[in-house]
Amino acid sequence: MSGVIQGFGVIGAIVLVGYVLGRTEVLGDNGRDVLAKISFYVGTPALLLQMLSESDVRVLFSAPLLVTALSTFAAAALFVLVALWRRWNIRRTTIGALCSSYVNAGNLGIPVAVYVLGDATLVAPVMLFQLLVMTPIGLSVIDFAQAGEKASAWSRLLAPFKNPIVICSLLGVSLSLLGWRIPGPVSEPLTLLGHLSVPTVLLAFGVSLRGSQLPAGGAERWPVLVSVGLKSFAHPVIAWAIGAGLFGMEGAPLFAAVVISALPAAQNLFVYASRCCRGPAGPGVDPALHDPVGPRSRHGHGPAGLNRPQARCTCGGVWAATSGSGPV
């Protein structure tokens, strides 16, 4: 259990450093965006390329992972249904669906697997599934939507393959399937760059908390509550129902599936949400609440979560309405 507490403590400490940087304005007005872009374009692609190239992708075809996959798609689908009812746009719906179903299998999943479940390998299939299936699908939908209505069908179809995370994920899987290993002179710098992924996004999240209000208030209330409810309660319940009802799982395997499904949303969703917005007021994710949130900073351009409406935000804000009429 101490490992779980330590996992939360490490994350909280780095977020706190980011918050201090934001409060003191050491990084300037664009510090959060720079940190998020470093993670998206440099750190995360390098990390995924090396990790997937060294992984056994065959673990994706296991019964426990089917439970995770089905429960993940079910939780995301529930959010999409709510979004269709509320008429939220494609990009904010995609981010919300990811926040309702995408678990933190790395920073928190590994210590939980080791100290609660007793086996660190239990989270490996989940990480691979999210990296190879959920991330490409989510980012592809976002990139497809951002390609613009006037773009040709060919340009819209190719847009996801210009994404560095998708490219490096596919390259890593290809290397793994072929049994090739990245040579040392290339692997070493990739390792160093990959180490940028987690701390930069946590620092960016901390910076975004500067002067922010508490979430779940005003226009963001219902989107926040829907995402919190799905991620914290519906997702693990769905995993239990599928595991016990469809696959006849019980005991430790079923317990592991439920615990992993109950993990909070991953911090890299903050970066994916930031990708939705070209303006300085990029959206984000509040991993502590397991969901997207959207209060405005005291300066009017630094969200703590999925962003208040801003004129320069191309997606109109991920969670807040573009007018005073509530979520759109």
pLDDT in tens, 106-128: 656 765 776 677 765 577 678 77
pLDDT at 77: 95
Please give the Cα distance from 251 to 253 (Å, whole number).
Answer: 6
Nearest residue to 186 (alpha-carbon basis) of 168, 209, 170: 168
Please give the Cα distance from 1 to 202 (Å, whole number).
Answer: 23
Residue pair 261/71 in contact (Cβ under 8 Å)? The answer is: yes
Three-class secondary structure of residue 103 per DSSP: strand
Contact residues for 49 (Cβ-Cβ < 8 A; gap 6+): 168, 169, 171, 172, 182, 190, 194
Q: Which residue ranges of the chain lie beneath pLDDT 50?
A: 278-328
pTM of the model: 0.66
- 198-209 pLDDT per residue, tens: 788 788 888 888
Residue pair 239/68 in contact (Cβ under 8 Å)? The answer is: yes
- Within a 10 A sphere around the Cβ of 154, how many other Cβ atoms? 8
Fold entry, domain 2-289: Na+/H+ antiporter like fold (1.20.1530)
Please give the Cα distance from 43 to 135 (Å, whole number).
Answer: 15
179 φψ region: left (φ > 0), alpha (ψ -120 to 50), beta (else): left
pLDDT at 270: 72
Q: Pinpoint the alpha helices (H) of the chain.
A: 2-24, 31-38, 44-53, 63-86, 90-99, 109-112, 124-129, 135-146, 153-158, 164-178, 184-194, 197-208, 221-229, 235-241, 251-261, 268-275
Token pair, residue 20, equals: 């201090």
Q: Pinpoint the alpha helices (H) of 102-234.
A: 109-112, 124-129, 135-146, 153-158, 164-178, 184-194, 197-208, 221-229
Token pair, residue 54, equals: 């060294």
pLDDT at 174: 87
Three-class secondary structure of residue 151 per DSSP: coil
- Within a 10 A sphere around the Cβ of 127, how many other Cβ atoms? 21
